[in-house]
A and B are shown apart, each in its own frame.
Chain A
Amino acid sequence: MDVELIEIRDFLASHAPFEFLPEETLDVLPKKLAVRYLRRGTAFPPRDDEQPSLYLLRRGAVDLRDAEGNLVGKLAEGDICPSVCHPDDPRMQMAGQTSEDTLAYLLPCAELQRLRERHPEFAEHFDDSVSKRLRKALESIKQDSEGTTALMTVQVRDLLARDLVSAAPDTSIQEAAGIMSRAGCSSLVILDGERLAGIVTDRDLRNRCLAAGVSPTEPVSRIMTEKLETIGAGTLGFQALITMTRLNVHHLPVLDGGNVMGMLSTSDLVRVQSANSIYLVGDVRRAENTETLAAISGKVSELQVQLVASGATADQIGQAVSAVTDAITLRLLQLAEAELGPPPVPYCWMAGGSQARREQSSHSDQDNALLIADHMKPEDDAYFAALARKVNDGLHACGYIYCPGDVMASNPKWRQPLRIWTKYFNTWTKKPEPMALMLSSVFFDLRAIHDPEGLFDELQERVLKLSKADRIFIAYMAANALKHRPPLGFFRKFVLIHGGDHDQTFDIKHRGVVPIVDLARVYALSAGLSQTNTLERLKAAAAEGALSKDGGANLVDAAEFIGTLRMRHQAQQLKRGQKADNFLSPDDLSPLERGHLKDAFSLINTMQESLGQRYQAGRFT
């Protein structure tokens, strides 16, 4: 090849989809091109070509507009326009005019077709739908993280170190201890026939038998734990770790179908990976004061960095980080109760916002509230005020800074008995004012962190009943969910926003994460679902028919892709010793990531439009 066209070759090689072509094809490709110059203001793609061609912009820019003349995107250096070659494919259609003097390379459609036939990876760029492309991208980012460790990919069934060690409920305690001792294990599964009846651990032998003076001849069923969480054999190791961290247990029976397959212990997980979040939670449980807790919580950013490095997705990281926050909150409550004495009446400590959704990234603000039993007396509030103050201060000391909007249990407004909370929600749903809608992201994502008497279920039941039945309220929520629009895409070093504005950086939280969180909340409330986690909400809502199966799956993918980019961005900052933020510069993104992000934006946009139409949300904005 003439050495002189190397620059054009290199230009092709650095832009999708041409980058997927092999060297020898790239070497001869420049000779297949024609070059045109289009002055600013020329209709694009031009209609005067004798030979239909794909356009690749070498210099300049194009404004793309829809039939109504609204700006829907921009093309710049390296972008392609395949419209002319696919006249029947609506996904490929784009039209507009050059907004700068533009030099374009033209690849004849026949040549494009030949390339597509010979190079599958190149062809995928044109064949795949937006959602399929995004799904592939997601799979590949899950795979190509540097040290993909076993926990992310291995199923629990493969982590079990030993065969099932079990005994019948009528086995004596002594005999049970003998079985454990011979097998060298610290826990025993109690089976009633095939059915899981309970488990007994070393600790039960100590606490419930020896210390309690129960005779070793008694049946083991007397000291076993009956109310059990279990885990499926197909669960990923990481998910099991999160579940154990959340439940604060060290053993979980593993079910395969209906049958007990074995017992997963934390040591099984630790063998695979130093399981930081479970260690952190263990340390939290032992901490005796706020200073110790603050020191432990300082390791959360390290945890986030490690999880990112080991290939965890945003959801997994959010679960792990939130589990630590839950544990710290719990411990602060215990320490406060130890100091203040037992509460005069039962209460529930509720977390709102990202903690409630289990989507926290290293250190978020705190959002919390107190729900108190209805029979509280006015003078009881002094106790709860002191409790709330201690926990809020403690969380602040641990890096969960005070909520700027004062949505905290120390605020008397958010420290109320059940009947007042019910009234609040009644007002919010009946009169969805701006203030109420602003609070909705906190109070319609609510989760009980500490609730020994189960006060929360009743409140949640009432709220869901209220919101589900109220179409006007849902319509307001829908309109609110359209306030944060994703960008249209990227344009050179800029982010392109609806209306044609540019931004230097892009707030991945407010323009990427929040739109999906808001959508998921509307779907969940409209279907009366109790889930708070965004992915769980989307999956449950799709199962309930509150949104289409495809729509749900697409949003899950978009959330995972955007969230994971965000976590990686923050991990990089934390690694450099900087404060984690949400501002991405388009320069930091590879061309491929930009493409996938644009796909994710367009999926969100589609779902927002359809939600807007369904509730005629425009009327409420």
Chain B
Amino acid sequence: MADLASGLLLDWRRRWRLRKQPPGPLCDYLSRPFPSPRTDYREVEYVAVDLETTGLNARRDQILSIGWVVLSGTRIDLSTASHRLVRVQGDIPAESAVIHQITDDVAATGTDLAAALPEFLCALSGRVMIAHHAHVERCFLGAACKQLFGGGLLVPTVDTQAIARRILERRQVAFKASDLRLHALGERYNLPRYGAHNALSDALAAAELFLAEAAYRDNGRGMPLGDFL
């Protein structure tokens, strides 16, 4: 029930923050209540998200792209699939460009974070965020919100990697860190493997992984959202 308590606490904090937040995208975002952790997870809407960044340090590094897709309960709605390239300040470090294949030229075609982030917040409003190893997304999105709107990001979050770790630990099987990667887990659940490595395909892969994990935990009678948070 700790999850339930913290979930309820989260919405209380949202209301408290809403009173202090000046009008703007973050205020609009906070104005919609979070889904109650008591709700059946199949009745909740989610946004699966993935970020590409210039590095792993949210204070120093920048967001390069945001990909997201909305889930209505246990259906991924591909009409909502979105991908935004973000123009960055300064050069993209070569070592990160190797991973995400976003070069300075490509990034230059993107939009400002000030335009991309509100769009994402609008999609996220009233929904639960899904991410794989959500810590990165929470830190970078939080830092971006703080920088642009003067307040951090409060959001109920499902971390598909944390769920996978809990499942493996509960089954008392030995596993390596690499077993918890998005693609390794996708294989375990018979999910398609996307060749392109970008924010949207990873967001989609995380969304599919969530459906798979939920299907394996749900005995057919549903579960409270709180069990996934």
Contact = CB atoms under 8 A, between A and B. Distances in A.
Nearest to A6: B196
Interface string B198-220: 11110010011001100110000
B138 to A, nearest CB: 23
Interface in A419-456: none
B107 interface: no
B215 A39 contact: yes
B33 to A, nearest CB: 23
B74 interface: yes
A59 interface: yes
B192 to A, nearest CB: 5
Interface in A4-29: 4-8
Contact of A30 (B78, B195, B211): B78
A32 B190 contact: no
Contacts of B191: 37, 59, 103
Contact of A35 (B78, B189, B196, B199): B78
Interface in B68-94: 74-79, 81-83
B195 A7 contact: yes
B79 A7 contact: no
A536 interface: no
Contact of B78 (A3, A5, A60, A103): A5
B83 A34 contact: no
A322 interface: no
A2 B208 contact: no
Contacts of A7: 192, 194-196, 201
B201 A4 contact: yes
A472 interface: no
A38 interface: yes
A60 B74 contact: no
Contacts of A413: none
B126 interface: no
Main secondary structure of the interface of A (DSSP, over half): mixed
Interface in A578-617: none
Contacts of A32: 78-79
Contacts of A106: 75
Interface string A47-80: 0000000000011100000000000000000000
B192 A59 contact: yes
A462 interface: no
A2 B84 CA distance: 9
B197 to A, nearest CB: 10
B67 interface: yes
A151 B83 CA distance: 58
A37 B200 contact: no
Interface string A262-281: 00000000000000000000
A37 B214 CA distance: 9
Given A4-B67, A101-B212, A103-B208, A34 B200 contact: no
B81 A31 contact: yes
B174 to A, nearest CB: 23
Interface of A: 2-8, 30-39, 58-60, 100-103, 106
Interface of B: 67, 74-79, 81-83, 189-192, 194-196, 198-201, 204, 207-208, 211-212, 215-216
Given A4-B204, A34-B75, A103-B208, 17 more contacts: A2-B81, A2-B82, A2-B83, A4-B81, A4-B200, A5-B78, A6-B196, A7-B201, A35-B207, A35-B208, A37-B74, A37-B208, A37-B211, A38-B215, A59-B191, A60-B190, A106-B75
30 contacts: A2-B81, A2-B82, A2-B83, A4-B83, A4-B198, A4-B200, A4-B201, A5-B78, A6-B196, A7-B194, A7-B195, A7-B201, A8-B78, A31-B79, A33-B78, A34-B75, A35-B75, A35-B76, A35-B204, A35-B207, A35-B211, A36-B76, A37-B189, A37-B208, A37-B212, A38-B215, A39-B216, A60-B190, A100-B190, A103-B191
The 4 closest A-B pairs by CB, nearest first: A37-B211, A4-B200, A35-B76, A101-B190
